[in-house]
Chain A
Amino acid sequence: MVAATMPSSVDWSCPDPAWQGITCNNATGRITRIELNNQMLCNPACPLDPALFRAATALSVFDVHMANVAADLSTFEFNSSFNIEQLVLSGNPLVVGPLNDYWPVWMPYLTKLDLSGTTNVVSDALLWSRPSTCRLEML
């Protein structure tokens, strides 16, 4: 557990020695995957710097599901050659929006986007609900 902000001036070079949850391309020496899901990275929640991804051109996976991070996604800066394929920020209620129209342009190779549970408005949505019955039918 660390009590600091996620570094904003990341050069995205491979750490030495290797860190758990960080995957590198040894040929290029660049970080390709950050998978820190289900880990209490910071207490209190550590903010992700809006410039975090600016130089992350080799990053394909960024997964901080339930990692207690905070971010205002509307202020994030992305490089035009951002090649991320999987972005998972779910389970972090302090990750906030609004959703940006330009995400598809910034992340053209994205195949997985998970922003579930990024706010606390579920109770409002439940006002729509009515009781229902379900059954699971199997072949």
Chain B
Amino acid sequence: MHVHRLQGPIPLSWTQNLYWKGELGLGLTYLSLAGSGLTSSIPSPWTLVALTYLDLSSNALSSSFNHILTSDLQYLDLSFNGLGGTWQLIDWSLAPKLRTLKLNSVSMVGTFPTGEVNHQKARARGILVCSNEHAE
């Protein structure tokens, strides 16, 4: 079997479908595309607001990720991507139910906003905090 690698962006239509957005049903709640060869940026606007589990680790995604923080999200893994941006621009209050956050080896700059994380801990049972050794 000839192997075509699964490379390319997340199809924009995936985030526009009324069913998967939860407007016509339960919606997509679990999405894992780890190590799937995804490239480009994460689609914006991100409308998969029913997601509770999102794993996009080990791809080649770029851009920031503030726009994918949603109110029901409990698990988020964006490790090993080309995600960039500044820690201070991430609004963690957008994801009040977040329990697990994995950001190994991303290219964020600045210092991790521990004050906001402490705020988050008030609701979270545990949170994995990863900071970049090369952060400026």
A→B interface (CB under 8 Å)? 45, 47, 70, 72-74, 86, 90, 94, 96-105, 108-122, 124-126, 128-139
Contacts and interface: CB of A to CB of B under 8 A. Distances in A.
A126 B20 CA distance: 30
Given A47-B1, A102-B13, A132 B35 contact: no
Interface of B: 1, 3-8, 10-14, 16-17, 19-20, 24-37, 55, 58-60, 80-82, 103-107, 117, 121, 124-134
Contact of A112 (B19, B29, B134): B29
A65 to B, nearest CB: 10
A102 B6 CA distance: 16
A139 B125 contact: yes
Given A47-B1, A131-B133, A116 B60 contact: no
Contacts of A73: 6
Contact of B131 (A109, A132, A139): A132
The winner among B31, B36, B132 for most chain A CB atoms within 10 A is B36
Contact of A117 (B11, B31, B34): B34
A127 to B, nearest CB: 8
Contacts of B132: 130, 132
A103 B25 contact: no
